[in-house]
């Protein structure tokens, strides 16, 4: 009974939000209330997640388990960011610059690791499945895109070579858009399955 109740609540909420896109004038007050409740629940869930994460790292440091040094780094960084946020406020230019000077290099490093990981995965696919037209095309396109984006190839401004190079430079955006479209379609299918009660995992 409880599972059915949660499914009905989730389905009604989702259908209300979906209907709000077609009847914005009539349902705008209801949508505003639903979004406010959603933000409150999201904030509470975030606080619970942060508390659980801190408790886990504190317990690891107290017991001095494997990785306790990294837990100390996490706790010090969290407390430093929290104290600075209270003293300087997130609107402070100094506070934002301090955060960005850490966040941007970390994100760039993760993207670099992701690129290398994808390349190694491509080589692994070739090693396991052998040389096929698809694996060769994948590896060649990956290496070609990486070489082009290094900026070593220079072409005269306004020339045909510049147009061709720009085309190949923008070509990975097509794949990125394809991935985003796939994610959107997948999210739509999952959402419809949930709203139509075909998938009842939310009742667990």
CA-CA distances (angstroms) from residue 120 to 49, 114, 123, 125, 134?
33, 10, 5, 9, 16
Per-10-residue mean pLDDT of the chain, 204 residues long, equals 70 75 77 82 89 89 86 87 80 81 85 80 78 78 76 74 77 79 83 67 50
- The pLDDT value given to residue 44: 92
What's 89's DSSP letter? -
* Crossing angle (nearest 10°) for helices 93-129 and 133-149: 150
> In angstroms, how far is the first alpha carbon of the chain from the final one?
12
CA-CA distances (angstroms) from residue 115 to 15, 118, 183?
39, 5, 20
CA–CA gap between residue 51 and residue 70 (Å, rounded): 17
- The pLDDT value given to residue 203: 47
- Residue 171: Cβ within 10 Å count: 13
- Residue 140: Cβ within 10 Å count: 11
The phi, psi pair for 149, rounded to 5°, reads -75, -5
Among 108, 55, 110, 109, which Cα is nearest to 78's? 55
- The pLDDT value given to residue 201: 55
CA–CA gap between residue 84 and residue 95 (Å, rounded): 7
């Amino acid at each position: 009974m409880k599972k059915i109740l949660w499914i009905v609540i989730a389905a009604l909420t989702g259908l209300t939000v979906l209907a709000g896109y077609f009847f914005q004038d009539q349902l705008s007050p209801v949508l505003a209330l639903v979004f406010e409740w959603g933000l409150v629940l999201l904030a509470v869930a975030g606080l619970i997640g942060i508390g659980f994460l801190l408790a886990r790292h504190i317990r690891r440091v107290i017991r001095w388990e494997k990785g306790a040094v990294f837990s100390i780094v996490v706790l010090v960084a969290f407390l430093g960011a929290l104290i600075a946020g209270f003293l300087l406020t997130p609107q402070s230019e100094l506070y934002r610059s301090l955060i960005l000077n850490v966040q941007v290099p970390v994100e760039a490093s993760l993207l670099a690791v992701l690129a290398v990981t994808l390349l190694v995965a491509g080589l692994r696919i070739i090693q396991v499945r052998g040389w096929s037209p698809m694996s060769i095309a994948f590896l060649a396109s990956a290496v070609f895109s990486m070489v082009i984006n290094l900026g070593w190839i220079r072409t005269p401004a306004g020339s045909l070579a510049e147009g061709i190079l720009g085309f190949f430079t923008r070509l990975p955006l097509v794949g990125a858009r394809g991935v985003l479209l796939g994610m959107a379609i997948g999210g739509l299918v999952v959402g419809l399955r949930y709203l139509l009660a075909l998938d009842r995992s939310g009742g667990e």
